[in-house]
């Protein structure tokens, strides 16, 4: 080894699956990385609560501290990798590390979604990097693509399948005809869903990632509670079947878009997309992000969105980005400085096509009643599916509607749900045609 090779000294906070992955990969790829970037990346200290865990992973005892505060106070470290999770300690850790003049790398999308504005202000003030490639879509280098590869583009829209658990569930509902609860149980059995499934299945994880992508694209952090989020629990197997009959697949999409006036929409919900669209063929636990730029047009990025190794790959790429120029100081690149005229649209303003499934008593006049409500709100019907049924039976009535603002649609749904022949809360899904 060349004695003059500079060394980037890393403190690793947290030794879960991703932390262990980072530790192992920095060891196994040590020569490769030094060769590629001309700098050695060396983990000098690891903060982990259970010393036993460090032994399991093979971290030498001399490297281990139990309190992350020791890590951020260590003047010999250049970078802290935050992998402790949660948003309370992780926030404090990140703030203190930046204030102490250290770069920080994090995989923590919840932290960024909730406290990103403050954290990037601190990073900017102290001229330190706060990098987060691992926070969205695991090993897919989507953050780098947005910041660097597409730097010449105004981002017109982003459509992302960014929760592997939900995509696995929808894939199994589609391919094996499972109901939601059975697909979820299978996902848990296969280790694709946590015991506490709400973060994934109710769309919160995807919403955190959508907030990160929106900040990158439009330079502001969607205030908590203002990012419309809807998960999978209302989706039934029959909705996937009807969608297919109409030429659509069903995905949990994060949608981030701007219009000509610079108003921005950010939302996460189950969405019908044309079966022929490339996103419709993204199956299982895979993630994909489709980006439309004003110069480049559509580009798409696909890969595994989670798991220790893919996420470690992203963390190491952030370390390499800092190391590649080390020890030279680099300009820290901020997130959130482009929000000159951006305005977040409310959900009420959003216009899209809609899918409605009603459970109705099969008797004359029901469709007419429903159609009248829709017409009174200027909502056009583009197709109807009503399976054969015997008079008086309860049967699904599926309607595909033309473009309508969410506020009108919601008002119509409320009114429809009060029609006597409508026997269950209407299922409402939005449609995205990528026009």
From the CB of 239, what's the least distance to its own copies, in Å? Answer: 23
CA dihedral 247, 250, 253, 256 (to 10 degrees): 20
Is 209 considered catalytic here? Answer: yes
Residues 6+ apart with CB under 8 A from 326: 6, 8, 39, 78
Smallest gap from Cβ 19 to its own copies, in A, equals 15
Smallest gap from Cβ 35 to its own copies, in A, equals: 6
CA-nearest of 344, 339, 119, 135 to 223 is 344
Question: Closer CB to its own copies, residue 161 or residue 409?
Answer: 161
What 8-state DSSP symbol labels residue 135? G
Residue in 9, 3, 14 with CA at minimum distance from that of residue 94:
14
- The radius of gyration of the chain's CA atoms, rounded to the nearest angstrom, is 24
**Nearest distance from residue 368's CB to its own copies, in Å?**
41
Half-sphere exposure of 219 (CA within 13 A, CB side): 14
Spatial separation of the C-alpha atoms in residues 402 and 351, rounded to whole Å: 10
Q: Return the H-helix or E-strand segment holding 256.
A: strand 248-258
From the CB of 68, what's the least distance to its own copies, in Å? Answer: 24
Least spacing, CB of residue 140 vs its own copies, in Å: 5
Nearer to its own copies, 296 or 424 (CB): 296
| Nearest residue to 222 (alpha-carbon basis) of 116, 374, 326 | 116
| Residue closer to its own copies, measured from CB, 170 or 373 | 170
Q: Which of 102, 109, 209, 257 is catalytic?
A: 209
How far from the centroid of its chain's Cα atoms is residue 45's Cα? 30
The 3-class SS string of 124-179 reads HHCCCCEECHHHCCCCCCHHHHHHHHCCCCCEEEEEEECCHHHHHHHHHHHHHCCC
272 forms beta bridges with 250, 431
* Closer to its own copies by Cβ: residue 317 or 395: 317
In 3D, which of 268, 289, 265 has the Cα closest to residue 343? 265
Does residue 62 contact residue 26 with C-beta atoms inside 8 Å? no
CB nearer to its own copies: pick between 331 and 418: 331
Which lies closer to its own copies via its Cβ, residue 111 or residue 322?
Answer: 322
Nearest to 77 by CA among 6, 5, 11: 11
365 — phi, psi (to 5°)?
95, -10
Nearest distance in Å: CB 305, its own copies? 10
Nearer Cβ to its own copies (36/181)? 36
Asked if residues 370 and 417 have their Cβ atoms less than 8 Å apart, the reply is: no
Q: Which is nearer to its own copies, 168 or 355 (CB)?
A: 168
Nearest-approach distance from CB 26 to its own copies, in angstroms? 8
The residue ranges that bind its own copies (CB under 8 A) are: 21, 25, 29, 32-33, 35-38, 133, 138-141, 144-145, 148-154, 278, 281-282, 293, 295-304, 309-310, 312-314, 316-317, 320-321, 324-325, 328, 330-331, 333, 337-338
Helix (H) or strand (E) holding 402: strand 394-405
Distance between CA atoms of residues 91 and 332, nearest Å: 19
Helical ranges in 339-405 per DSSP H:
366-376
- CA nearest 357: which of 404, 275, 406, 413? 413
Active-site residues, by number, are 209
């Amino acid at each position: 080894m060349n004695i003059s090779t500079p060394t980037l000294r890393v403190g690793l906070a947290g030794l879960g699956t991703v932390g262990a992955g980072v530790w192992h990969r920095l060891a196994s790829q040590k020569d490769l990385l030094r060769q590629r970037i001309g700098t050695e990346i060396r983990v000098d200290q690891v903060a982990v609560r259970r010393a036993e865990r460090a032994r399991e992973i093979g971290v030498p005892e001399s490297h281990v501290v139990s309190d992350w505060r020791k890590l951020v106070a260590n003047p010999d470290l250049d970078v802290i990798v935050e992998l402790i999770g949660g948003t309370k300690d992780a926030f404090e850790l990140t703030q203190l590390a930046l204030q102490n003049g250290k770069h920080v790398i994090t995989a923590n999308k919840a932290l960024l979604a909730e406290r990103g504005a403050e954290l990037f202000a601190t990073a900017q003030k102290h001229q330190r990097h706060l990098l987060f490639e691992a926070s969205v879509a695991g090993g897919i280098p989507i953050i780098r693509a947005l910041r660097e590869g597409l730097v010449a583009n105004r981002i017109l829209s982003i459509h992302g399948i960014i929760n592997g658990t939900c995509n696995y569930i929808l894939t199994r509902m589609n391919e094996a005809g499972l109901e939601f609860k059975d697909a979820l149980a299978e996902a848990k059995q296969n280790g694709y869903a946590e015991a506490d499934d709400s973060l994934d299945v109710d769309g919160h994880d995807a919403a955190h990632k959508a907030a990160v992508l929106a900040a990158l694209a439009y330079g502001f952090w969607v205030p908590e509670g203002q990012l419309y989020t809807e998960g999978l629990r209302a989706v039934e197997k029959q909705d996937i079947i009807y969608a297919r009959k109409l030429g659509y697949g069903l995905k949990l999409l994060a949608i981030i878009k701007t219009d000509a006036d610079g108003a921005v929409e950010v939302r996460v919900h189950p969405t019908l997309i044309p079966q022929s669209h490339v996103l419709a063929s993204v199956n299982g636990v895979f993630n994909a992000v489709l980006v439309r730029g004003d110069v480049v047009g559509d580009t798409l990025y696909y890969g595994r969105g989670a798991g220790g190794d893919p996420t470690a790959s992203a963390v190491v790429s952030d370390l390499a980005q800092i190391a590649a120029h080390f020890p030279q100081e680099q300009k820290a690149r901020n997130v959130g400085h482009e929000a000159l005229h951006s305005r977040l649209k409310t959900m009420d303003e959003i216009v899209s096509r809609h899918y409605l499934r009603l459970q109705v008593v099969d008797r004359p006049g029901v469709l007419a009643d429903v159609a009248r409500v829709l017409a009174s709100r200027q909502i056009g019907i583009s197709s109807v599916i009503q399976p054969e049924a015997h008079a008086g039976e309860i049967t699904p009535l599926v309607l595909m509607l033309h473009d309508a603002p969410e506020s009108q649609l919601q008002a119509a749904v409320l009114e429809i749900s009060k029609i006597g022949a409508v026997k269950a809360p209407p299922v409402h899904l939005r449609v995205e045609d990528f026009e």
